[in-house]
Amino acid sequence: AQTVTQSQPEMSVQEAETVTLSCTYDTSESDYYLFWYKQPPSRQMILVIRQEAYKQQNATENRFSVNFQKAAKSFSLKISDSQLGDAAMYFCAYRRSVGSSNTGKLIFGQGTTLQVKP
Amino acid sequence: DADVTQTPRNRITKTGKRIMLECSQTKGHDRMYWYRQDPGLGLRLIYYSFDVKDINKGEISDGYSVSRQAQAKFSLSLESAIPNQTALYFCATSSGLSGEQYFGPGTRLTVT
């Protein structure tokens, strides 16, 4: 069974600085997707970034980028130029590759609460 | 209007009561999911459905049931609520093609 682990329950960063959130996963699959979701105090789950396992290039979305290390089964999120609005809980998630026999379900890590200090 | 809606947004109920959480979507997606969020555990899958006639248990389905009334509606029921079902519940949808999941705003359920 696949598992996702976030070993940092809480992190803090100074506004305008850079922070990296860690995520490791375990799977025997070779094709899959990885995601980072943001959950602000509003509770809404917001997709931040996604990575396809077959792609070697790390995904980037504006100030958010990932370091995907497939062999190490590591998927960290880097937030550059941190802003107060980045304060939230961040979840790492795994999903098997989409296919007719696939449930499409997401497997989540425990979450990391990010505090941004002004 | 939001693509995925959940009602109610917050609910307090007593042990032993039956409660239904509702989810509606306007995205036209075929797949719908119910997750439960607990502190320190992340989100875990309760039930999922690929269409009206296809409903499947997730990893923590005990104590829950679901109904897919239409492609756009997927309800979660707690037949006899217990305090350890106090949690944040999310509905999500996805298209079978892209697989991207879109979440509703969540329902905060408290069982006293």
The CA radius of gyration of chain B, in Å to the nearest whole number, is 13
Which residue in chain B is spatially nearest to A51 when comparing CA positions?
B100
Interface test with B, best of A23, A45, A92, A108 (most B CBs within 10 A): A45
Question: What percent of chain A is predicted at pLDDT more than 70?
Answer: 96
Sequence-distant (6+) residues with CB within 8 A of A55 are none
Q: Do B106 and A44 touch (CB under 8 A)?
A: yes
Q: Is the pLDDT of residue B98 over 90?
A: no
Q: What is the pLDDT of residues B29-51, one digit of tens each?
A: 989 999 999 998 999 999 999 88
Q: What is the pLDDT of residues A105-116, one digit of tens each?
A: 899 999 999 999
How far is A20 from A76, CA to CA, in rounded Å?
7
Q: What is the DSSP string of B17-32?
A: --EEEEEEESS--SEE
Mean pLDDT of A58-77: 96
What is the reported pLDDT for B112? 96
Mean pLDDT of A55-59: 91
What is the reported pLDDT for A105? 85
What is the reported pLDDT for A56? 86
What is the reported pLDDT for B56? 94
Residue A46 Cα, gap to closest chain B Cα (Å): 8
Q: Do A110 and B40 touch (CB under 8 A)?
A: yes
Q: What is the pLDDT of residues A15-47, one digit of tens each?
A: 999 999 999 999 988 889 999 999 999 999 999
How far is B81 from B94, CA to CA, in rounded Å?
28
Q: What is the pLDDT of residues B49-65, one digit of tens each?
A: 988 999 999 999 999 99
